[in-house]
Amino acid sequence: MEKSPSKLDLITEFFADFTPRQLEQLAALDELYRDWNSKINVISRKDIDHLYENHVLHSLAIAAAFEFPSGAKVLDIGTGGGFPGIPLAIYFPEVEFLLADSINKKLTVVKEVAAAIGLTNVTTRHTRVEDIKDRKFDYVVSRAVAPLKDLWQWAKPVLNKRPSEGNFPASGLICLKGGDLGQEISESRLRPRVMEIYELFPLDYYREKYLLYVHR
């Protein structure tokens, strides 16, 4: 079935380097998430019509700001329905992603979506991040799961100590957040690099939405 190009236009407006295979994978997300969301609610009903702007492109803000090296290992904390992990795994096919969540039925959606589009660089784990003791990661990503202080407390023990190299950032936590972050950052006692997503994607939805990066 032919996909409507309009949804992908939103992505390709900001990313010119997707392969035909990656574009196929991105295009398939619409029907897959609509189908699975009717069985297991992972995206709010009002949001499903804005999947590409509110979820896919939002997740790809990380790819717009950071380059991950081939072979890097990335943990997505509290992935829910697979954001930001699934779009990032499409963008970085040579990077390994572990998508973790404490709610197993959400991971059912993640596994089925990943399998349907042929993502071979995604695995899932039904766990709380505090219970991951057997693996280390180069980067931890997350989207609006918990306060920065808690995210860093969970991320730090599972992060490798990989220095920055060329365009590749040092190991660290990269999270997507919104709103007034002053108090949250102050309470974390961290000094994250803060980037406005609106500067990457100048669309109204991204006003007061931010990328925060704390290096290991």
Enumerate the known binding-site residues for S-adenosyl-L-methionine: 78, 83, 129-130, 143
Q: Is 181 exposed, middle or buried (0-12, 13-18, 19+ CB in 10 A)?
A: middle
Q: What are phi and psi of 51, to 5 degrees?
A: -55, -45
Between CA 80 and CA 101 the distance in angstroms is 6
| DSSP symbol at 68 | P
From the annotation, which residues make up the binding site?
A: 78, 83, 129-130, 143
Between CA 103 and CA 77 the distance in angstroms is 12
